[in-house]
Amino acid sequence: MDDVKYLDAEAVFSALSPAEAVDALINALADGFDPENDIPRTIRDVSAGNMIMMPAEIGDWVGVKLVGVAVKNAEIGLPRIQGQYLMYDAATMTLKSILDGAALTTLRTPAVSVAAIRPALGRFTEPVNVVVFGAGPQGTGHVDTLSDVLDVALADVTFVVRTPDRVDDGVRDRGRVLEAGSAEVDAALSAADIIVTATTARSPLFSADLIRQGAVVMACGSHDPDARELPADLFRTATVVVESLSTVLREGGDVVLAIQDGALDAEDLVTMKQFNAAEVPAPEDQTVIFKGSGMSWEDLAVAAEVVARAG
């Protein structure tokens, strides 16, 4: 184990910027990796919540993320999600590196959302208004990644939460905080160019008629087929981008339920690989939705770049 490199959270974030994490994902797709060939993750219930195992192989690397999700950790001041990422040489299966799993997840999840809809971001030529449901690491991570990738500034950032008094200064430094369900939230949504949902909600967070045509929506809060953050009607006239067809139809409740409601056809789904290869156009007046639930290859693509840059 003396030869195994350990990269803690600070080392992970220092090695790779949010924009570089986006590039790592796009480059993996451009180099020929097909997410449909990814190894499905395994989720098992335990007394505190669940354990998730996410193995993947790309090029010279095999990696696996081991994650523990403890649903009551917030009550005792601990992170809800903790874990490690193990990197093995693909030829010998020799363990080479261990990365802080929570930091890797925080870096890669918003990078996936932004990488998935990257071609649609070119439609914004003026500073953009952003609304984020959720103020945890994924909510703030999406704001930081958008700020790092967009060619225009963030004009206004609004975080929507159930309990504003629990939001820390790190969130407030990035934007204003509004309480869910208020008239101010509806006004912010009506003016929003980009909407991010990063919550544990199991039912729609807002009404579809509040979202203007041409907005970009990124939903990453769940990986359950019976949970949704977005209303079905939002899908009726949108371009819907997903990580992979098999994954979203198995885990992506926003998409699964929209199909069940008759608001979306499975045949119309667009993969992020297709979208980034410009196989499907993105008219500027059409809403673009990305539904992500997290896939094993994404962690490995970002982890490999972290390890390469960490030296």
CATH number at residue 277: 3.40.50.720
Q: Are 186 and 167 in contact (CB under 8 A)?
A: no
Q: Do residues 235 and 270 both lie within one domain?
A: yes
Q: Do residues 59 and 75 both lie within one domain?
A: yes
Q: Are 62 and 55 in contact (CB under 8 A)?
A: yes
Q: Do residues 92 and 152 both lie within one domain?
A: no
And the tokens for 82?
């903790």
Distance CA 147, CA 167 (A): 21
And the tokens for 182?
């208020």
Does residue 261 surpass a pLDDT of 70? yes
Q: Are 133 and 193 in contact (CB under 8 A)?
A: no
Q: Do residues 93 and 149 both lie within one domain?
A: no
DSSP annotation string for 234-245: GGTTSEEEES-H
And the tokens for 112?
């996936």
Alpha carbon of 192 to those of 38, 62, 92, 173: distances in Å?
34, 40, 50, 19
Does residue 16 surpass a pLDDT of 90? yes
Does residue 250 surpass a pLDDT of 80? yes
Those residues whose C-beta lies under 8 Å from the C-beta of residue 154, and which sit 6 or more positions away, are 127, 128, 130, 143, 146, 147, 175
Question: Could you give the residue ranges of the DSSP H alpha helices within 39-128?
Answer: 101-116
Any idea how long the chain is? 311
Whether this prediction's pTM lies above 0.75 is answered by yes
Q: Do residues 171 and 283 both lie within one domain?
A: yes
Q: To 5 degrees, how large is the angle CA 105–CA 110–CA 113?
A: 125
pLDDT in tens, 67-121: 999 989 988 989 888 999 999 999 999 999 999 999 999 999 999 999 999 999 9
Distance CA 192, CA 197 (A): 13
User: How many folded domains does the chain comprise?
Assistant: 2
* CATH number of domain containing 20: 3.30.1780.10
pLDDT in the model for residue 1:
62
pLDDT in the model for residue 80:
84
Q: Are 222 and 159 in contact (CB under 8 A)?
A: no
pLDDT in tens, 279-310: 998 899 999 999 999 999 999 999 999 999 99
Q: Do residues 93 and 199 both lie within one domain?
A: no
How much of the chain exceeds pLDDT 90, in percent?
92
Does residue 252 surpass a pLDDT of 90? yes
Question: Could you give the residue ranges of the DSSP H alpha helices within the chain?
Answer: 9-15, 18-30, 101-116, 137-149, 169-172, 183-190, 245-251, 253-260, 272-276, 296-310
Over residues 170-197, the mean pLDDT reads 97
pLDDT in tens, 263-278: 999 999 999 999 999 9
pLDDT in tens, 114-142: 999 999 999 999 999 999 999 999 999 99
Q: Domain of residue 103: give its range.
A: 5-107+297-310
Q: Do residues 182 and 269 both lie within one domain?
A: yes
pLDDT in the model for residue 79:
85
Q: Do residues 131 and 175 both lie within one domain?
A: yes
Q: Do residues 121 and 258 both lie within one domain?
A: yes
Q: Do residues 146 and 253 both lie within one domain?
A: yes
Q: How does residue 222 score in pLDDT terms, banded at 50, 70 and 90? A: confident
Q: For residue 7, which phi and psi values (nearest 5 degrees)? A: -115, 110
Comparing 3 with 12, which gets the higher pLDDT?
12
Q: Do residues 13 and 120 both lie within one domain?
A: no
Q: Do residues 44 and 14 both lie within one domain?
A: yes
Distance CA 87, CA 152 (A): 36
Instruction: Supply the mean pLDDT for the chain.
Output: 96
